[in-house]
Amino acid sequence: MEEEYKVYKSRWLILGLYSFYCAVNAMQWLQYSIIAEVIEQYYHVSITAVNWTSIIYMVAYVVTILPATWFFNKMGIRVSILLAMGGTCLGSWVKVLSVAPDRFWVTFLGQTIVALSQMYVFSIATPLAATWFGPSQVSTACSIGVTGLMLGNALGMWMPTALVPTEADEQKVAVGLSTMFYINAVSSSVIFILQLIFLKSRPPSPPSSAEAVREASPASVRIFLKSLWRLLKDRNYFILFTNFSLNAGVFSAISTYLGQIISIYYQNGQDDAGYIGFIFIVAGMVSMPLVGIILDRTKLYKETLGVIYLTTIFLMIAFTFVMPVSILSVYISSAVLGFFLIGYLPAAFELAVEITYPESEASSSGCMALGGQISSVIISLAYGAILEASNDVASNCFLAALLAVGMILVFFIKSDLKRQKSIKG
C-alpha cells in the first residue's frame, strides 16, 4: 500500500503561495506602531490610537478564526486563501487613499480590513503541510510556512523606518507613507493574481496514510463544533493551548511596544527600533526551519518546547537589563531572544497536531492561534498599563514571569504522538 502515497513537486509552489500571503498581510501589522511618534504627529491622534492599529489585528483574529476555520474545513485551501488574500488586497488599496492628516479613520479602516483577512496566517500552516507533504517533511514544511509570517513582520518593522522620515516635515512624511502603502497594495495584488492562477487545494492523491484518514472525514458545522468541544475537553491539549498563548502574548507585547521602549533610553530611538525589530524577527526566521528539521528527525516535540522556553526566560531577563547599557547590546540581545522566542512556534503547532490526531489540523491550530491572539490583546494592554504606571523594567519582568509559568506548564504536557503512531501502524 505504500506506493499509493506520494508527494508532488508542486507542493513547494503551493507552500510558497501561502507563505507570500502570510508575508504581505503580516508586514502591515506593525507598520504604524514601530514609528508611533511619527504617526501620532502626522495624523494628530493619541499614542493609544496608534497602538490600536496593532491591537486590532489581535481582536480581528479572535472575531474571525472560528467561522474561518469551519469555512476552511468545508471549502479547502484554495478558496480560503483566495478570500483572505482578496481582503488583504482590498484593505491595502484603501490605505493608499489615507495619506492626509485628517484621514486616520481611512487608514484605520484599511488596517481593519487587512486585519480581518489574516485569519489564515497562523491556522493553515499545519493543515497545508499535512495535505501536501509526507511524514518526513511535514514539520519542516510547517516551519517554512510560518517563516512567511515572520518575513512579513520583519519587513513591517524595517520598511517604515527606511521609508518614513522621523523629521517634522509633513510633506516628506506623506511621501514616505504613500510609498509604503503602494508597496503593500501592489505586492498584495501581484500575489493575489498568482494565487488565482496556480493555487490548488490538494494534490491528486494524499501524501500519507494519516492524511488519507483525515480526508475521509466529512465536514459539517455539527462535526466541526464537536471537534472543537473535544479539543477543549482534552486536558493535554488545553495545557499546550495555555502554554502557546503565553508565548504568543509575550511576542506581541514586545513587538508592539519595542519602539516606545527603545525611545526611553536612546534619542531618535525609533530609527533603531525598526532595525532592531527586523533583526529580532529575522533571527526567529532562521530558527524556525532549524526547529522543523530537528522535529522531523527526532520527533522530540515536548523536549524541544522545554529547551526553548527555559532559554527564553533567561534571554528575556537579559534583554531587560542590557537595554540601558548600549544600543549594540540591545541589537544583540534582541536577535538572540527572537531566535528562541519565535522558534517555539512550529514546535507548538506540530505537537498540537500530534496529540489531537485525527482531529482536523485546522481546528487544533486555529484554536491555538485564537488563544494566542486573545492573550496577545490582554498581555499587550497589561504591558502598556505597567509601562505607563511604572517603567520598562517592571513591564519586561512581567513578561519574564509569564514565560516562567509557561515553562512550568511544559512539564505537564503528555507527549502522546498519535499521528506518528498512525503512520507507523
Measure the CA–CA gap between 80 and 32, rounded to whole angstroms: 27
Measure the CA–CA gap between 103 and 98, rounded to whole angstroms: 5
Residue closest to 358 by CA, chosen among 218, 243, 242, 222: 218
What is the full DSSP assignment across 190-259? HHHHHHHHH--SS-SS-SSHHHHHHHTS---HHHHHHHHHHHHH-HHHHHHHHHHHHHHHHHHHHHHHHH
- Entry pTM: 0.78
Give me 66's grid cell.
472560528
Least confident of 58-62, 197-201, 420-424: 420-424
Residue closest to 366 by CA, chosen among 144, 120, 152, 76: 120
Residue closest to 56 by CA, chosen among 108, 120, 102, 96: 108
Decide if pLDDT at 311 tops 90. yes
- Place 1 in a pLDDT band, splitting at 50, 70 and 90: very low
pLDDT for the residue 221? 59
- Place 425 in a pLDDT band, splitting at 50, 70 and 90: low
Residue closest to 341 by CA, chosen among 258, 262, 245, 247: 247
- pLDDT (mean) for 134-162: 84
CB-CB neighbours of 359 under 10 Å = 22
Using one digit for the tens of pLDDT, what is the confidence trace for 218-275?
Answer: 555 566 677 778 888 889 999 999 999 999 999 999 988 888 888 888 877 777 888 8
Using one digit for the tens of pLDDT, what is the confidence trace for 322-342?
Answer: 999 999 999 999 999 999 998
- pLDDT (mean) for 307-331: 92
CB-CB neighbours of 226 under 10 Å = 12
Residue 346 preceded by cis peptide, ω within 30: no
Any idea where the domains of the chain sit in the sequence? Answer: 8-203+219-424
Decide if pLDDT at 209 tops 70. no
DSSP H helix total and E strand total for the chain: 17, 0
Q: By three-state DSSP, how is residue 134 classified?
A: coil
- pLDDT (mean) for 347-371: 82
Q: CA separation (Å) from 255 to 74, 77, 411?
A: 34, 29, 28
Give me 301's grid cell.
516535540
- pLDDT (mean) for 284-299: 86
Is the Cα torsion angle 121, 123, 125, 128 positive or negative in sign? Answer: negative
Measure the CA–CA gap between 25 and 29, rounded to whole angstroms: 7
Decide if pLDDT at 79 tops 60. yes
Measure the CA–CA gap between 210 and 353, rounded to whole angstroms: 11
Domain 8-203+219-424 top-level CATH class:
mainly alpha
Decide if pLDDT at 300 tops 80. yes
